[in-house]
């Protein structure tokens, strides 16, 4: 009997630890990061500028998420220059409902010297280059959410959610645009992925250097459908 009691106590303790996974709830805030801005135009080709496309896509995504009742915020709402770390500081200090968790989505446009290069890809960070998720700079809300975990645990949870979000975005995009070349999920040492303390992905929507993709990305209808695909991906997490 005593042994059964001990077993039950262990079981309850493990279940409550599982339930307390900081990413077990819903996404309660989406921080949308429009790449480049101000004095940093990003890539330019086919009479288009990356910083303008990333901003209009980010605004379309914010609108779509708000329509679905998902809290969203932008790191920049106009043509402003922001350092990469400033973007991360905005995300890391953001207010969110602690029954869920925040995610960070950075929007960029690709470019290549070959005008035929094309396609959609999503980046996650590399496993071995994460800064401590709990440090003196962690916001009170994130610290409250993360305080019962070690940095190693948080990293492993966060990596899984980021990978799943990247997969979801690729499959939602492939359903919405079956004719676009799908380059898939990749990982890279991007500052905004390494220095945000939450699941984070960087989306490369298409190639500005490819005339057909540039034209498509500038289209309102494309931007709205893309926003809806990303919102679907977030709801499926």
* 27/169 with CB nearer Zn ion: 169
143 near 205, Cβ under 8 Å?
no
Q: How far apart are CA 155 and CA 153, in angstroms?
A: 5
Q: Point out which residues bind Zn ion (CB under 5 A).
A: 35, 42, 108
Shortest distance in whole angstroms from residue 54 CB to Zn ion: 7
Shortest distance in whole angstroms from residue 132 CB to Zn ion: 27
* 37/42 with CB nearer Zn ion: 42
* 42/199 with CB nearer Zn ion: 42
Shortest distance in whole angstroms from residue 50 CB to Zn ion: 5
Grouping H, G, I as helix, E, B as strand and the rest as coil, residue 230 is helix
Shortest distance in whole angstroms from residue 188 CB to Zn ion: 12
* 35/102 with CB nearer Zn ion: 35
Burial (CB count <10 Å: 0-12, 13-18, 19+), residue 13: exposed
Q: How far apart are CA 137 and CA 146, in angstroms?
A: 13
Contacting residues for 68 by C-beta, under 8 A, at least 6 apart: 231, 235
Grouping H, G, I as helix, E, B as strand and the rest as coil, residue 57 is helix
- Residue number of the CB atom closest to Zn ion: 108
């Amino acid at each position: 009997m005593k042994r059964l009691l001990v077993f039950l106590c262990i079981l309850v303790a493990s279940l409550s630890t599982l339930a307390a996974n900081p990413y077990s709830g819903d996404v309660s805030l989406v921080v949308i990061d429009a790449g480049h801005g101000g004095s940093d135009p990003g890539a330019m080709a086919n009479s288009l500028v990356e910083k303008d496309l990333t901003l209009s896509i980010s605004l379309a995504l914010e609108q779509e998420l708000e329509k679905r009742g998902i809290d969203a915020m932008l790191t920049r709402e106009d043509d402003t220059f922001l350092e990469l770390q400033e973007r991360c500081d905005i995300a890391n200090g953001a207010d969110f409902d602690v029954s869920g968790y925040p995610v960070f989505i950075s929007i960029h446009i690709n470019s290549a010297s070959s005008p035929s290069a094309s396609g959609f890809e999503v980046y996650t960070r590399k496993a071995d280059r994460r800064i401590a998720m709990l440090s003196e700079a962690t916001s009170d809300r994130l610290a409250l959410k993360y305080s019962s975990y070690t940095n190693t645990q948080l990293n492993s949870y966060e990596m899984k959610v980021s990978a799943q979000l990247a997969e979801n975005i690729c499959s939602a995009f492939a359903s919405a645009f079956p004719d676009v070349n799908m380059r898939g999920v990749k990982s890279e040492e991007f500052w905004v992925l390494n220095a945000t303390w939450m699941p984070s992905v960087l989306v490369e929507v298409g190639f500005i250097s490819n005339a057909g993709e540039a034209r498509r990305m500038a289209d309102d209808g494309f931007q709205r459908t893309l926003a809806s695909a990303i919102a679907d991906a977030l709801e499926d997490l």
